[in-house]
């Protein structure tokens, strides 16, 4: 029964079923293993149990194996694998930080070079997406492949039965980024740029709802900017969301696009995508040796943008369409992503996105001093202190208001008032949580009415409780 459950969980991945083992594990190369997370307890029933993985490693590659854990959401005791465990964690369904890909490859290469019998076992949670990104990066690093699409195709053949290895567009894009660095023998560095606008060409059509998009920009796991819900600037088959004051970004950047039809409806994330500003830089990349292999100039190399015609980065070589353009006195770049290059596309099965739907992100090379972010949105960088002060002020006012009302009901003791105030806070939170339940039941509750009525309602509860105790 457990074996059937594990086969269902592993889905399209190839399993190792030899010598009494039945593991979600595949040999990509004789010395490179991709596998699922070595789990314990109940999770070990439907994933690789850590005891079985230890037994496999000790049987097949005793004293010559090293484990690479890519999960950022879970760990295990490294002593189970004789402390030969290295961690390069990043978030599931997302690309790795570009700066960590080279150290990972160097670490793997160092271990495999020590002894011809050495092997590496690389895993994330499912052992497919994140694992595939890093394995493809290493195959490119050692020169087994020179093109990202070739490495991705080979990994798909070895790891899955249907060729669907690394499927998330941003993960594939970062494999192409790494391939570009190796092919051109350039050194990666963080390049600051300015985000000017996001444009939706041929936007999706949502049934019974006005499409009101807004976006959130984040980097290194922290939000940088949140725009206001746009009743956007619309023209024929086009929605443009312009930042009145540009936003400075650098390195790995994530953009999430949301939709919220009105205030009572919950926001919906339609999709997100990642890109790296280094590959949109107008400055020519340095030629510091990066390791790996280079075949000279590549047609997808980072170039100085031409005012007359755009240059496509990675287009043709790996199927990604990122165009760079220049206009006026600034170096202006446009990152174009088709509907097939967006991550976790919501309503994809309902076909609300036209085939020619496209996202265009306009960036400008960073020149001059840093400017403040757009007042039309919410700048989340550098405002923590101000937000904290506002929260404290609101909390203090709320506490004083409730304390005064409780005192008016005859609760004179300071300790009793503190107890009642704390109880009212808890009841207020419960009442606000009940709003969501009412909305799910189809009842429309206005937030403003709820906020204005909650104190009298709670004080009525206080009064009834006091009368019942007398």
* Residue 374 DSSP code: P
Alpha helices, DSSP H, located in 142-168? 148-159
- The Cα 37–Cα 75 span in angstroms is 9
Contacting residues for 131 by C-beta, under 8 A, at least 6 apart: 34, 35, 70, 122, 123, 124, 159
Q: What are phi and psi of 252, to 5 degrees?
A: -80, 125
Q: Give tens-digit pLDDT for 6-33.
A: 555 555 777 777 787 788 899 999 999 9
Q: Give the distance, in angstroms, between the CA of residue 371 and the centroid of all CA atoms in the same chain.
A: 26
- The Cα 239–Cα 203 span in angstroms is 7
- Please confirm, yes or no, whether 124 is among the known catalytic residues: yes
Q: Where are the domains of the chain?
A: 2-167, 192-379, 384-469
Q: What are phi and psi of 357, to 5 degrees?
A: -65, 135
Residue among 161, 104, 103 at smallest CA distance from 131: 104
Output the CA angle 383-386-390, nearest 5 degrees: 135
The owner of tokens 């995508």 is 273
Q: How many CB atoms lie within 10 A of CB 363?
A: 24
The token pair at 135 is 């394995």
- The Cα 141–Cα 252 span in angstroms is 21
- The Cα 223–Cα 37 span in angstroms is 29
Question: What share of the chain in percent tops pLDDT 70?
Answer: 59
Task: Answer positive or negative: Cα dihedral of 391, 394, 397, 398.
Answer: negative
254 strand-pairing partners = 218, 274
- The Cα 73–Cα 431 span in angstroms is 33
Residue among 106, 163, 450, 110 at smallest CA distance from 289: 106
Output the CA angle 239-242-243, nearest 5 degrees: 155
Q: What integer pLDDT is reported at residue 440 of this predicted model?
A: 43
Higher-pLDDT residue of 188 and 440 is 188
Report which secondary-structure segment, H or E, holds 7.
helix 2-10
Q: How many CB atoms lie within 10 A of CB 265?
A: 12
**Would you say the CATH fold of 192-379 matches that of 2-167?**
no
- Lowest mean pLDDT, pick from 225-239, 330-344, 428-442: 428-442
Of the candidates 7, 71, 105, 124, the residue annotated as catalytic is 124
E-assigned strand segments in 230-349: 233-235, 238-250, 252-259, 268-276, 311-313, 322-324, 332-338
Rg (CA), the chain: 27
Q: What is the CATH number of domain 2-167?
A: 3.90.190.10
Strands 378-379 and 358-365, sheet pairing: unpaired
Q: Give tens-digit pLDDT for 169-227.
A: 999 999 999 999 999 998 898 989 999 999 999 888 776 556 788 899 999 888 999 88
Task: Answer positive or negative: Cα dihedral of 381, 178, 101, 185.
Answer: negative
Q: Give tens-digit pLDDT for 104-139.
A: 999 999 999 999 999 999 999 988 999 999 999 999
Q: Give the distance, in angstroms, between the CA of residue 420 and the centroid of all CA atoms in the same chain.
A: 43
Q: What are phi and psi of 273, to 5 degrees?
A: -160, 160
Mean pLDDT over 61-87 rounds to 92
Q: What is the CATH number of domain 192-379?
A: 2.60.40.1110
Residue among 386, 334, 382, 78 at smallest CA distance from 223: 382
454 strand-pairing partners = none
- The Cα 64–Cα 405 span in angstroms is 72
Q: Give the distance, in angstroms, between the CA of residue 455 and the centroid of all CA atoms in the same chain.
A: 40
E-assigned strand segments in 3-81: 25-29, 32-35, 65-71
The token pair at 396 is 């203090």
C-beta separation of 80 from 54 below 8 A: yes
Report which secondary-structure segment, H or E, holds 70.
strand 65-71
C-beta separation of 290 from 187 below 8 A: yes
C-beta separation of 34 from 132 below 8 A: yes
Q: Which value, to the nearest 10 degrees, does the dihedral of the CA atoms of residues 156, 158, 160, 163 take?
A: 40
Q: Give tens-digit pLDDT for 318-375.
A: 433 343 333 334 588 889 999 999 999 887 766 788 889 999 999 988 754 344 343 3
Q: What integer pLDDT is reported at residue 158 of this predicted model?
A: 94
Q: What integer pLDDT is reported at residue 372 of this predicted model?
A: 39
């Amino acid at each position: 029964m457990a074996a059937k459950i594990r086969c269902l969980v592993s889905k399209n991945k190839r399993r190792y079923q030899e010598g009494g083992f039945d593991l979600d594990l595949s040999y990509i190369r004789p010395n490179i293993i991709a596998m699922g997370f070595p789990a314990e307890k109940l999770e070990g029933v439907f994933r690789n149990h850590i005891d079985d993985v230890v037994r496999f490693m000790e049987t097949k590659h005793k004293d010559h194996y090293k484990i690479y854990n890519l999960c950022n959401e879970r760990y295990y005791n490294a002593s189970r694998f004789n402390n030969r465990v290295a961690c390069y964690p990043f978030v599931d369904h997302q690309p790795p930080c570009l700066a960590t890909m080279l150290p990972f490859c160097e670490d793997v290469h160092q271990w495999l070079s020590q002894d011809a019998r050495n092997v590496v076992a690389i895993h994330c949670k499912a052992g497919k997406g994140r694992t595939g990104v890093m394995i493809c990066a290493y195959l490119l690093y050692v020169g087994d492949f020179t093109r990202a699409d070739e490495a991705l195709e080979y990994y798909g053949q070895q790891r899955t039965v249907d060729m669907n290895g690394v499927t998330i567009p941003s993960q594939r894009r970062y494999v192409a980024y790494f391939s570009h660095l190796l092919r051109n023998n350039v050194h990666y560095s963080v390049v600051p740029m300015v985000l000017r606008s996001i444009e939706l060409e041929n936007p999706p059509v949502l049934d019974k709802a006005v499409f009101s998009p807004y976006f959130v920009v984040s980097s290194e796991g922290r939000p940088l900017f949140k725009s206001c819900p746009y009743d956007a600037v619309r023209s024929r088959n086009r929605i443009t969301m312009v930042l009145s004051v540009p936003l400075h970004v650098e390195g790995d950047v994530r953009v999430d696009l949301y939709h919220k039809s009105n205030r009572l409806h919950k926001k919906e994330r339609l999709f997100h995508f990642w890109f790296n500003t280094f590959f949109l830089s107008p400055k020519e990349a340095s030629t510091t040796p990066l390791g790996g292999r280079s075949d000279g100039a590549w047609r997808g190399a980072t170039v100085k943008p031409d005012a007359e015609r755009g240059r496509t980065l990675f287009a043709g070589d790996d199927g990604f369409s990122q165009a760079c353009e220049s206009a006026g006195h600034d170096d202006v770049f446009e990152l174009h992503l088709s509907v097939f290059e967006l991550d976790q596309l919501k309503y994809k099965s309902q076909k609300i996105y036209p085939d020619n739907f496209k996202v265009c992100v306009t960036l400008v090379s960073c020149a001059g001093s840093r400017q403040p972010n757009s007042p039309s949105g919410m700048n989340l960088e550098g405002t923590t202190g101000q937000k904290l002060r506002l929260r404290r002020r609101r909390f203090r006012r709320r506490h004083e208001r409730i304390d005064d009302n409780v005192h008016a009901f005859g609760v004179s003791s300071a300790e009793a008032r503190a107890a009642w105030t704390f109880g009212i806070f808890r009841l207020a939170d419960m009442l606000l949580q009940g709003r969501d339940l009412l909305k799910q039941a189809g009842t429309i509750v206005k937030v403003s009415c709820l906020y204005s009525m909650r104190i009298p309602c709670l004080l009525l509860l206080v009064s009834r409780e006091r009368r019942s105790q007398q």
